[in-house]
Structure 1
Amino acid sequence: MQEAPYDFEAGAILLIDKPLTWTSFDVVKKTKFALKIKKIGHAGTLDPLASGLLIMCTGKFTKRIEEIQAQEKEYTGTFTIGATTPSFDLETEVDSTFPTEHLTPAMLEEAAQSFLGEINQVPPIYSAVKINGERAYALARRGEEAEIKSKRITIKAFDLMGIEGNQVHFKVVCSKGTYIRSLARDFGLKLGCGAYLSKLVRTRIGDYRLEDAMNLAQLQELREKQLGQHDRHPGA
């Protein structure tokens, strides 16, 4: 947990450990309420089904949001192979299953390594990408089809940390704009067995790390501690 003095209203960079199921906007709203401040934003959205590092900028530091968002990201998580979902994660139900008995660890490793470097990636239809001014996920939830253009991204590292049955645990280091859900889909396509993202934790953005983050209860406690120190009279 961070142990530094902050001037929340004037400007601060806060590292928050986003809970599972919360949207990034939920964290913004709750942080704004907890700190009683006016100007706040986040640097890089995390899906509700992802947890981990979310960077909040307050006051004058909101000007640094784009700079922080552009930095390299690191994630750990799990792909479930042998099945697919329309959203490429657990937001939607499994729609197809495939055999995986023929796959070997070497085949999985080879597939992972094939994504290293600069690649073209198509964002998920269940995403905040805009299509003709409307969010893609809104179209998807209405059952409408839409074409999403690919983006150029960079995968710096794609390490398989362990394999347990159909659960493939990984660590990925990537550029801004990378969708790990899309990487799950493409990993499954490469293997010919389908895959979806079943767990995701963001562990780093640039030099900012999850182990230095705090939850909202700790942030509230820090604010109250600082207010108490501010209000204390000399010699009290």
Structure 2
Amino acid sequence: MDNLEGKILAIWKPKGPTSHDVVDMLRQKTGLKRIGHAGTLDPLAEGILVVGFGRQATRELGKIIVKDKEYQANIVLGIVSETFDAEGPLKEQKITAIPSLAEIEKIIKEKFIGLIEQVPPAHSALKIGGRRAYKIKRSGEEPKMKTRKVYIEKIKIIDYSFPSLTLHISCGTGTYIRSLAHDLGQELGIGGYLAGLTRLRVGEFLQNQALTIEQVVKEYKI
């Protein structure tokens, strides 16, 4: 489609499909073969997926993927997940004391702001020796996930009613919110997993600019 060629748009990915599924749907709708996205969202996550249409636009995506991002994360405390998210399997933890809001704020401030070390989830698309980590895990092997440094600018507690904790997170590229949820639960001594995630911003691409696939079809008369 000539009117989409060269454009970079914020697409609103719904819960369910993979980021690649969304790109495939757009290819089918538009007839364009050269479509790519910047920054993968897990199937259970929703929110902004920056998509480039055409050769030139997809080349520009490398500059966008390194931009800072904002998320809203819903974490469930007192339960751990092998995948660090709701895909599980889930295991309830023995809880001797429910953490207070002040305790959570203190841990976040001391352990999760600024440049921190983080281990990505084994169930992720990161490549290890040319193989995806999740494929290694599914084959029965244990992928060797390396610690890496990520930058978290700000975490704001939006709501807390145990076991549910909702956070607004501003962070740099490469941050795994699943790992953050898991690590926060470990620091609190009760475990935790990421139950829901919404990506609100990628660089200058904002939530109120994002289009659904249906809106793209309508707006660009596909």
Residue 101 of structure 1, CA deviation: 3.5
> Residues 107-153 of structure 1, C-alpha deviation per residue, up to 9 Å, x if partnerless?
11111212100011110000011122211101222332122111111
Residue 198 of structure 1: aligned partner: 195
1:152 aligned onto 2:149: yes
The AA in structure 2 aligned to 1:190 is E
Residue 14 of structure 1: aligned partner: 9
2:164 & 2:152 partners in 1: Cα distance? 21
Question: How many residues matched?
Answer: 219
Provide structure 2 residue ranges, at least 5 long, that are not aligned to the other structure: none
1:24 aligned onto 2:15: no
Residue 209 of structure 2: aligned partner: 212
- Whether contact under 8 Å (1:71, 1:205) holds in the other structure is yes
Q: CA RMSD in A?
A: 1.3
2:140 & 2:81 partners in 1: Cα distance? 14
- Whether contact under 8 Å (1:16, 1:215) holds in the other structure is yes
The AA in structure 1 aligned to 2:12 is D
1:166 aligned onto 2:163: yes
Q: Secondary structure of the residue that 2:105 maps to in structure 1?
A: helix
Amino-acid identity (%): 37
- Whether contact under 8 Å (1:35, 1:223) holds in the other structure is no
1:22 & 1:189 partners in 2: Cα distance? 30
Q: Secondary structure of the residue that 2:106 maps to in structure 1?
A: helix
Provide structure 1 residue ranges, at least 5 long, that are not aligned to the other structure: 1-5, 228-236
2:187 & 2:215 partners in 1: Cα distance? 43
| Greater gyration radius | 1
Residue 94 of structure 1: aligned partner: 90
Aligned residue among 131, 137, 142 for 2:128 = 131
The AA in structure 2 aligned to 1:78 is N
Which TM-score applies when normalising by structure 2? 0.95
